[in-house]
Amino acid sequence: MIRRRLFNLAATAALAGLALSGAAQAAEVIKLGAIAPKTGPLAGGAVVTQWPNIQLWVEQVNARGGLDVGGTQMMIELIEYDDKTNPGEHIKLAQRLAEQDQVDFVVAPYGTGFNIAAAPIYGRYGYPMIAVSAITDKMDELTERYPNLFFTLGTTTAFVDGVKEILVEQREAGAIGNEIAMVNVADAFGIELADRARELFTEAGFELVYDKSYPLGTPDLSPVMKGAKDSGAKAFVAWSYPPDSFGLAEQAIIEDLDVSVYYSAVATSFPAFGDAYGGKINNVLGAGGTNVDDPAIAAYRAAHLDVTGKVADYWASANTYAALQILEQAIEGAGTKDKETVTQYIKDNSFDTVMGTLTFENNVSHTFWSVGQWQDGVFRGVKGTGVEGAVPVRLKDGWVE
């Protein structure tokens, strides 16, 4: 456990120009709890997209004097835990946040499975939970059961549809046939996406000539990629998490996988993905995206690098930051730390974020990117819902720099 009092340094600067009464107010604290992997199979993704954006947001808010809660300035105290990529550990720590640390608000977990597994515990304590790294078709069921739960990244169907649209377009253009090689990580995220893809791809007239799942954390993905290559398909789709997105790309390069469409999911948008493989991954498709030409995104990326020393990824980073902006605006708009009141404020209002204006309909946002693509060293959004700035898809043509 790391208990950060990030408000201390920021408070020194923020309080310097305030009157005595204002300084007394600014010394008050609002506690924020965050639990996500720092170790275990999902740590690689969380340390890229989750933890740096929590740090960025907390430091920025405290540097400008904290949150204005009903006229009282409150500095944020961040209390963070490593769940070790263990759902049981996460739930135990969530209870500790609520009962021992008595935090006022929480950051939603990292990963689809963790958001679903932890929804009951956060619901029990009434914390508004903005699930920024979760994709599921069970949103209506979950939000009805847990009215404090919000989703920002879109449904499983929407994500599969984005990929399906690209496959159909390229088939019509004669770049691929009906054959698809598909693989998935065997956890809640990958299983649900693969199940839906089987339905939608088949309905669109495609044939899954290779369909393979593998356990989360599989160290050797060469057999998976060899099977995909042997299938002869000109389209490859992987519903993957960070470790395997990297591992699959490495094996695709080694095997010289001959496809015109190559898609892998989470972590394909990571800067480290481009750093690891350079121009070899040009025209690789992946989950999510942003409009990198948007001035708001450019300003966000510059701040992320300046404050954290790390380059933001091209999808979940900005979405994670946007979720925290929503929480900030809801607390200040409601003018209270009362969790139920803040939850209702999120339901009833729109929010100005780095990802644009976001509004929840039945606790679900319908503004999101579903597919992006590496094009000349930049990961650009190519498919989305309610977004602007999508660019045309390019075909994959070999794995040479």
pLDDT digits (tens, 9 = 90+) for 344-396: 999 999 999 999 999 999 999 999 999 999 999 999 999 999 999 999 999 99
- Do 195 and 270 lie in one domain? The reply is yes
The answer to whether residue 49 sits within a structural domain is yes
Give me 88's structure tokens. Answer: 């049981």
Residues 237 and 273 in one domain: yes
Do 140 and 200 belong together in one domain?
no
Nearest to residue 235, comparing CAs of 196, 181, 193? 181
Instruction: Using alpha carbons, select from 363, 291, 313 the residue that is nearest to residue 56.
Output: 313
Residue range 275-295, pLDDT digits in tens: 999 999 999 999 999 999 999
Q: Are 187 and 243 in the same domain?
A: yes
Per-residue model confidence as pLDDT tens digits over 232-248: 999 999 999 988 999 99
Taking residues 45-56, what's their average pLDDT? 96
pLDDT given at position 287: 96
What pLDDT does 188 receive? 86
Would you state the pLDDT for residue 242?
Answer: 87
Do 95 and 244 lie in a common domain? Answer: no
**Structure token pair of residue 42:** 């999902």
Interatomic CA distance for residues 399 and 309, integer angstroms? 30
Residue type, 25: Q
Mean pLDDT of the chain: 92
Of how many residues is the chain composed? 401
Q: How far apart are CA 393 and CA 252, in angstroms?
A: 20
Model's pTM, two decimal places?
0.87
Share of the chain above pLDDT 70, in %: 93
Classify residue 394: in a domain, yes or no.
Answer: no
Which residue reads 């019509």 in tokens?
A: 172
Q: Is 147 exposed, middle or buried (0-12, 13-18, 19+ CB in 10 A)?
A: middle
The pLDDT value given to residue 55: 98
97 and 26 both lie in a single domain: yes
Q: Are 32 and 105 in contact (CB under 8 A)?
A: yes
- The most distant pair of C-alpha atoms in the chain lies apart, rounded to whole Å, by 73
Question: Would you place residue 27 in the very low, low, confident or very high pLDDT band (cuts 50, 70, 90)?
Answer: low
Percentage of the chain exceeding pLDDT 90: 88
Is residue 86 over pLDDT 50?
Answer: yes
Distance of alpha carbon 231 from alpha carbon 85, whole angstroms? 34
The residues pairing with 34 across neighbouring beta strands, listed in sequence order, are 80, 107
Residues 198 and 223 in one domain: yes
| Residue 400 CA: distances (Å) to CA of 18, 130, 253, 269, 374 | 59, 41, 8, 19, 14
- What's residue 237's pLDDT? 98
Backbone angles phi, psi at 165, to 5 degrees: -60, -40
| Residue 285 and residue 297 in one domain | no
Q: Residue 395 falls within a domain, yes or no?
A: no
CATH number at residue 350: 3.40.50.2300
Residue 100 lies in a domain: yes
Per the domain annotation, does 322 fall within a domain? yes
Radius of gyration of the chain (CA): 21
Count the neighbouring beta carbons within 10 Å of the beta carbon of residue 17: 9
> For residue 99, what pLDDT is reported?
97
CB neighbours of 57 closer than 8 A, spacing ≥ 6?
321, 324, 325, 328
Same domain, 334 and 238: no
Please give the pLDDT value at position 401: 81
Residue 22 banded pLDDT, cuts 50, 70, 90: very low
Residue numbers of the domain that contains 266: 156-290+370-385
Residue with tokens 């209270």: 336
261 and 174 in one domain?
Answer: yes
**Residue 2 in this model has a pLDDT that exceeds 60:** no
Residue with tokens 């089987």: 198
Cβ neighbours for 224, distance < 8 A, ≥ 6 positions apart: 183, 212, 214, 218, 248, 251
Same domain? 377 vs 229: yes
Structure tokens at 260: 């015109």
Q: Strands across the sheet with 235-239, in order? A: 207-214, 179-185, 235-239, 261-264, 285-287, 368-375, 378-385
For the chain, helix (H) and strand (E) counts, in that order, are: 15, 17
* pLDDT over 60 (residue 221): yes
The answer as to whether 74 is a domain residue is yes
How many domains does one find in the chain? 2
Residues 98 and 193 in one domain: no
